[in-house]
Structure 1
Amino acid sequence: MNKSLHHRHSLQRLAQVALASATFAMAAVASPAFALDNVKVMIGANPGGGYDQTGRSLGAAMIAAGVAKGASYDNKGGAGGTIGLTQFVNSDKGNPNALVVTGAVMVGAIETSHPPVTLKNATPVARLYADTMVLTVAANSPIKTLKDLTTQLKANPGSVSWGGGSKGSIDHILAGLIAKDIGVDPKKINYVPFAGGGEASASILGGHVTVGIAGVSEFLPFIKTGKMRALAVTSKDRTADLPTLKEQGVNVEIYNWRGVYGAPGITPDQRKALIDAVVKATENKVWKDALQKNDWTPFLLTGDEFGKFVDAESLRLGTTLRELGVAK
């Protein structure tokens, strides 16, 4: 009798243990599995611009998606983001919770100034989105179409002044690619660099430059109100229903893309966790809202594939910068 009672108690105890562990397992599945503790985001630009919005939007989306407990941001502007990259590579080696924001601008800056620290010293995680670029003229400009622009450029390259971001920027590269495609020497491009979007739009509207280049989102308000006329966008398909360069016979497609790299010296498992966490964040409403608000086009590519894309982009942008005479 005692024996069987003891046996029954043992079975009950076993059942309780089994139930408890099953409940624990279910709870573990239900609660967000934090891939990262606090994610540390290095932003190689001053607050307020595209790099800054990218880093902060991604950090917020990672928290909202439950893949990071918190996020901290470090803004280190200068030299196209390469100063921030150098600090990141030197101070975060082996840190599985660290990310640095990168993009076409940084790739161009690396090709121009050949810094000792490049993206080869960090770990490719994910390309996030593309910012399509647009060519615009003032509403009262005698240039009505892309054809008008290319005709004038062929006849007298110096008579066309291009207003855009800093020398060697993605805007400058776009002007070089268009010239090259229509058979004009990129070194003859008359490029006028501006410090910020506000200065560029004022110059276009005032007719101080022939044509302006910026991200679609920056010039869209002026295009919608009819103050600027859009000649072409740089995407494969129409953006904001504006005609592309390609559909008008200029074979150029380029984006001001942005993405993130991880620290050097992280393990393959840590890298996978980082990629998974970033991908989860891009599926979150917080990220999707940021895409919509900023007119960013999703352009996700991860890991080694992203690394290969950056290598190809470095070659393409670097070649154009050398042809423009900006890079050696």
Structure 2
Amino acid sequence: MRRDTFLKSLAAMAAVGSLPVSAQTAALKMMIPANPGGGWDTTGRALGKAMQDAGAASSVSYDNKGGAAGAIGLAQFVNASKGDPNALMVMGAVMLGGIITGKPPVGLDKVTPLARLTSEYNVFVLPANSPFKTMKDVIEQLKKDPGSVKWGGGSRGSTEHIAAAMIAREVGVDPAKINYVAFRGGGEATAAILGGNVTIGGSGYSEFAEYIAAGKMRAVGVTSSARLKGVNVPTLKEQGINVDIGNWRGVYGAPGITAEQRKALIDALSKTFKHKAWQDAMEKNGWTPAWLAGDEFSNFVDSEFASLRATMAKSGMI
């Protein structure tokens, strides 16, 4: 076959969608099951840009749908994207906690696991004008009057919610008595902290980094086992509070895609993960690379469900 004839044949096949998925550079649709401004939003948009820079996508459109720890966006993704090989959804540990506490009608068993991308630890911060200066100050007030300490963060069942309950249990306070204020997205939580509407706030370090650097928030503890690289914030363990819990984020595909389509999406994500654009995004946001794909990722999620459920039960959350 002549080269020009072959190219015309390829163009015709692409026009009717009969090319193998791996041979196409797709226009992807990214479901972000949270409001703008939070960790999932940052991850989804950074991933979309990196996929385009890596040549793994021709374009990426975004759909933010916050609420119920991602369950509302998950339900919409399931209902609107069946069999769509160009649909992606950002998710993470927060969604697992929300499913455990909220018991939504649509779960992760309805969608296709693709890959885990990053891991990140939570940081707890105080508003700059807070009368409290340290985590010790917060704990002393928590012991005196648990309800007077407002913990601000993501949806119920988020890692910062679980961490707050774990902190209470570790210092001898009934976790059921903590006053946790859940927000639909990181932007709302950040505004509440900056406005002094909560006593203490928690989220991934990358979400608060600029405000900490500017002196608008005071970081008083991180949920990692050791201090974060380049971050001069004491761990909770350093302060005598035996709490260590991480947050991770990953990507799922639509329900009902074929094994070939799933592999093509995983290959596209793998190509992106290795690209400089994504590596730069991870460094900029302080994300730890945590690549895990396909069935290994699926098995990890199953294990995380069991582990989170046990932790939440022990902390009095379920």
Please tell me the TM-score bracket, short chain as reference: 0.7 to 0.9
CA distance in structure 2 between the aligned counterparts of 1:60 and 1:140, rounded to whole angstroms: 37
Secondary structure in 2 aligned to 1:68? Answer: coil
Matched, 1:63 2:52: yes
* Structure 2 gaps, min length 5: 3-21
CA distance in structure 2 between the aligned counterparts of 1:215 and 1:54, rounded to whole angstroms: 11
Write the deviation string for residues 22-80 of structure 1: whole angstroms up to 9, x where unpaired. xxxxxxxxxxx646533332222344443233223222222221223333333333333
Match runs of 1:158-169 below 5 Å: 158-169=147-158
Match runs of 1:258-297 below 5 Å: 258-297=249-288
- Aligned counterpart, 1:132: 121
Question: How far off is 1:245 after superposition?
Answer: 1.8
Write the deviation string for residues 241-261 of structure 1: whole angstroms up to 9, x where unpaired. 322223333232223422101
Question: How far off is 1:232 after superposition?
Answer: 0.9
CA distance in structure 1 between the aligned counterparts of 2:270 and 2:108, rounded to whole angstroms: 20
Write the deviation string for residues 256-299 of structure 1: whole angstroms up to 9, x where unpaired. 42210122333334323222210210122222232233333322
If the length of structure 2 is used for normalisation, what is the TM-score?
0.78
Match runs of 1:230-245 below 5 Å: 230-239=219-228, 240-245=231-236
Contact 2:159/2:247 (8 A) holds in 1: yes
Matched, 1:214 2:177: no
* Structure 1 gaps, min length 5: 1-16, 18-32
Question: How far off is 1:322 after superposition?
Answer: 5.6
Which structure has the larger Rg? Answer: 1
Q: Classify 1:218/1:54 alpha carbon distance in 2 versus 1 (closer, same or farther; 3 Å).
A: closer
CA distance in structure 2 between the aligned counterparts of 1:160 and 1:47, rounded to whole angstroms: 26
Read off the aligned partner of 2:278 and give its amino acid letter: W
- Aligned counterpart, 2:192: 200
Secondary structure in 1 aligned to 2:58? Answer: strand
Matched, 1:50 2:25: no
- Aligned counterpart, 2:14: none
Question: How far off is 1:119 after superposition?
Answer: 0.8
CA distance in structure 2 between the aligned counterparts of 1:161 and 1:74, rounded to whole angstroms: 31
Write the deviation string for residues 122-157 of structure 1: whole angstroms up to 9, x where unpaired. 121111123432112345656444344444434543
Q: Classify 1:228/1:74 alpha carbon distance in 2 versus 1 (closer, same or farther; 3 Å).
A: closer
Question: How far off is 1:203 after superposition?
Answer: 4.1
Read off the aligned partner of 2:192 and give its amino acid letter: A
Secondary structure in 2 aligned to 1:111? Answer: helix
Q: Classify 1:319/1:186 alpha carbon distance in 2 versus 1 (closer, same or farther; 3 Å).
A: farther
If the length of structure 1 is used for normalisation, what is the TM-score?
0.76
Q: How large is the Cα RMSD of the aligned pairs?
A: 3.1
- Aligned counterpart, 2:293: 302
- Aligned counterpart, 2:238: 247
How many correspondences in the alignment? 294
Contact 2:155/2:182 (8 A) holds in 1: yes
Greater mean deviation of Cα atoms: 61-70 or 219-228: 219-228
- Aligned counterpart, 1:26: none
Identity over aligned pairs, percent:
57
